[in-house]
């Protein structure tokens, strides 16, 4: 086995996955990111993201080692026109929805649809879309998750494949599923 083969194998085993995390303000994007980080990198207090933050975490499967770059972009109305600027080379789009706040569902769905339509040519095969239905710990009725899935599926139709993950950035519930979903599409691409 030559040196180039060894280098290639190592490079393939240590893959970076770029995740763009978008959603309305106060949907819990930064809370999810903070919960995923190693203990020594967590913030004690989380405040609304102004602009963006980038965090990297390592995720290992049986056969691969991944560096997951989490691009956490603010969701305030004034920042939304700039979301497209962060999309370049994105592997996974995570759209965060506050599942405990039905009053903002329609606004969130509208923003998601607008974003997907603007970037339609770039989303789909190369870019996986995950809807993180956050704040499950605050739900009185789990039917809200079904409502989110049904509404998004109706509005977007078969425009692009979407994976739905229920989670709580506060308790950590569902975050291991979120991570495995992030790497699942990439896993078979890098198998040797």
Residue 117 annotated as part of some ligand binding site: no
In sequence order, what E strands does 52-175 have? 52-60, 65-73, 92-98, 128-134, 162-166
CA distance 41 to 100: 27
Q: Is 2 annotated as a binding residue?
A: no
Active site residue 155: no
Is 149 annotated as belonging to a binding site?
no
185 labeled binding residue: no
Establish whether 27 is an annotated binding residue.
yes
Contact predicate 126/91, CB 8 Å: yes
Round to whole Å and give the CA distance between 78 and 34.
23
30 is in an annotated binding site: yes
Confirm or deny that 28 is annotated as ligand binding.
Answer: yes
Say whether 134 counts as a known binding-site residue: yes
Contact 96, 83 (CB under 8 A): no
3-state secondary structure of 116: helix
| Distance separating alpha carbons of residues 15 and 29, to the nearest angstrom | 23
Asked if residue 49 belongs to a known ligand binding site, the reply is yes
Q: Is 135 annotated as a binding residue?
A: yes
The answer to the question of whether 70 is labelled as a binding residue is no
Which of 132, 134, 108, 27 lies closest to 74, judged by CA? 27
65-73 β-sheet, strand order: 52-60, 65-73, 14-23, 92-98, 128-134, 162-166
Annotated catalytic residue, options 53, 76, 140, 155: 76
184 annotated as belonging to a binding site for a ligand: no
Active site residues: 76
Annotated binding site: 23-30, 49, 75, 134-137
Annotated binding site for GTP: 23-30, 75, 134-137
Annotated binding site for Mg(2+): 30, 49
């Amino acid at each position: 086995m030559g040196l180039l083969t060894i280098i290639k194998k190592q490079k393939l085993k240590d893959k970076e996955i770029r995740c763009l995390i978008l959603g309305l303000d106060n949907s819990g994007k930064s809370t999810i990111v903070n919960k995923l980080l190693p203990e020594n990198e967590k913030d004690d207090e989380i405040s609304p993201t102004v602009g963006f933050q980038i965090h990297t975490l390592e995720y290992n499967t049986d056969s691969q080692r991944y560096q997951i770059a989490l691009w956490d972009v603010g969701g305030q109305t004034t920042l939304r026109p700039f979301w497209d600027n962060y999309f370049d080379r994105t592997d996974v789009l995570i759209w965060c929805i506050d599942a405990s706040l039905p009053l903002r569902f329609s606004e969130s769905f509208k923003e998601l649809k607008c974003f997907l339509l603007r970037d339609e040519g770039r989303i789909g095969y190369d870019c996986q879309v995950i809807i993180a239905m956050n704040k499950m710990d605050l739900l009185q009725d789990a039917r809200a998750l079904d409502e989110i899935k049904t509404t998004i599926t109706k509005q977007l139709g078969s425009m692009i494949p979407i994976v739905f993950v229920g989670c709580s950035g506060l308790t950590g519930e569902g975050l291991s599923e979120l991570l495995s979903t992030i790497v699942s599409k990439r896993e078979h691409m890098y198998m040797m």
